Structure 1
């Protein structure tokens, strides 16, 4: 697996940068792991879970730096999604992209590394 992605509010990401670690969203904390998407899953994740939200970042992460805490597990429709059981060390982050909002409540997803 190459790059994986996390969508999060810019304010939450700025707080993670201040702390040096990302502990996850309220949903992540509730579920016991940080939800990620592959490049092919990002658009549907944005549509399903972030429609109408503004001020979002798309955080690119190198999964090879996450070790055994990263697992591929079935989720939406049985599709395998990357889940991180633990905190995200910011050293694994390769890029932080702004998700541009559209007037229809959706987001423009940049071209992503698979």
Structure 2
């Protein structure tokens, strides 16, 4: 499974189409994480000031149409999806529970 952090308003913007975050246009791929702990670290480092609900998409790599490449350094590899994320590949959606200052605490089921 792959994990992708996204604000709710971006995930729900076009529910009838494959998910295309801004990084796909600017960098050519969708940033993902290898596990829940890494996704929480990304939420903490890059999304603390994001207003509204913050989600983590759980993506089944086997259900993706685009290629997934594991890239980075010898010490740490990150999964990158080289195309839009097929919505059928999103097998679960979690919410990042945050404190009043926006610090990521944990992941809970999104209702």
Give the structure-1-normalised TM-score.
Answer: 0.80
RMSD, aligned CA: 2.0
Residue aligning to 1:70: 68
Instruction: From the superposition, tell whether residues 46 and 68 of structure 1 become closer, same or farther in structure 2 (CA, over 3 Å).
Output: same
Matched, 1:84 2:81: yes
User: Residue deviations 1:38-81, cap 9 Å, x none?
Assistant: 11411221121112223211110001222561110006x85100
TM-score, structure 2 length as denominator? Answer: 0.82
- Which of 57, 60, 76 matches 1:59? 57
Q: Does 1:47 align with 2:55?
A: no
Runs of 4+ in structure 1 displaced over 3 angstroms? none
Maintained 8 Å contact 2:4/2:58: yes
User: How many pairs were matched up?
Assistant: 106
Structure 1 residues 42 and 15: CA distance shift in structure 2, 3 A: same
Q: Distance in 2 between matches of 1:16 and 1:70?
A: 23
Partners of 2:87 and 2:39 in 1: CA distance: 20
CA separation of 1:49 and 1:28: change in aligned 2, threshold 3 A: farther
Q: 1:31 to 1:46 in 2, by over 3 A?
A: same
Which blocks of at least 5 consecutive residues in structure 2 are unaligned? none
The correspondence of residues 1-114 of structure 1 with structure 2, limited to 5 A, is 3-17=1-15, 19-24=16-21, 26-39=22-35, 40-54=37-51, 55-66=53-64, 69-74=67-72, 78-110=75-107
Structure 1 unpaired stretches of 5+: none
